[in-house]
Amino acid sequence: MSRVGREPIIIPEGVTVEIRENGVKVSGPKGSLSLEMRPEIKAEVKEGKILVTRQNEEQMSRALHGLFRTLIDNLIIGVTQGYEKTLKIEGIGYRAVMEGETLILSVGFSHPVKVSPPLGIKFETGDNNLIKVSGIDKGLVGQWTAKVRAIRPPEPYKGKGIRYSDEQIKRKAGKAGKAGAAGAPTAGGAKVGGGK
């Protein structure tokens, strides 16, 4: 069996799990989430735990076993703790502010960029030009964090742009690093590469 898939998921206090014909619904202090299951995978609740099993030993079923166990565990974490990702803005004059629920970005364009969050996603701005994206759906939080970053990805020369708070940008040398290229005059006045 899958090492991940066979691990039972403990249901925390205050969380209710409803097993449906085609999936699972989890409700907790922060809200409710649902997951559609593949027919190869089944979930059941026993003694305060969720057990995930597969219907056969085919390769696809084995691959999905651990995946769906992890996805159900993500639902439990989402409705109890929630998920949060942080972005950082780098650049002179670059900033982010909130206007109601809408995120307003000034990141070097001729106009500010407005980003309205979907249901279940919340934006917050903080000190040091930080943007926090939070919600109970792990996939949705990751998707909208990536969308905000894509508005002005960090460039490799000065690192200006929007990046993940723990992201390391690979820097490139600028044009100043190309001194002494072919065709440049030397101290004696002759050009590199010969000639008459």
Q: pLDDT confidence of 196, banded at 50, 70, 90?
A: very low
Q: Span 9-80: which CATH code?
A: 3.90.930.12
Q: pLDDT confidence of 1, banded at 50, 70, 90?
A: very low
Which of 4 and 164 is assigned the larger pLDDT? 164
Q: What pLDDT is stored for residue 189 in this prediction?
A: 52
Q: What pLDDT is stored for residue 185 in this prediction?
A: 53
Q: What pLDDT is stored for residue 51 in this prediction?
A: 92
pLDDT at 182 over 70: no
24 touches 32 (CB < 8 A): no
Could you tell me which CATH class the domain 83-164 is placed in?
alpha beta
Binning the chain into helix, strand and coil, the percentages to the nearest 5 are 20, 35, 40
26 touches 75 (CB < 8 A): yes
- Give the predicted TM-score (pTM) of the model: 0.79
Q: Which tokens is 122 given? A: 């919340």
23 CB-near residues (< 8 Å, 6+ apart): 34, 35, 36, 37
Q: pLDDT confidence of 2, banded at 50, 70, 90?
A: low
Q: How far is CA 123 from the centre of its chain?
A: 14
- Give the start-to-end residue ranges of the domains of the chain: 9-80, 83-164
Mean pLDDT of 151-172: 86
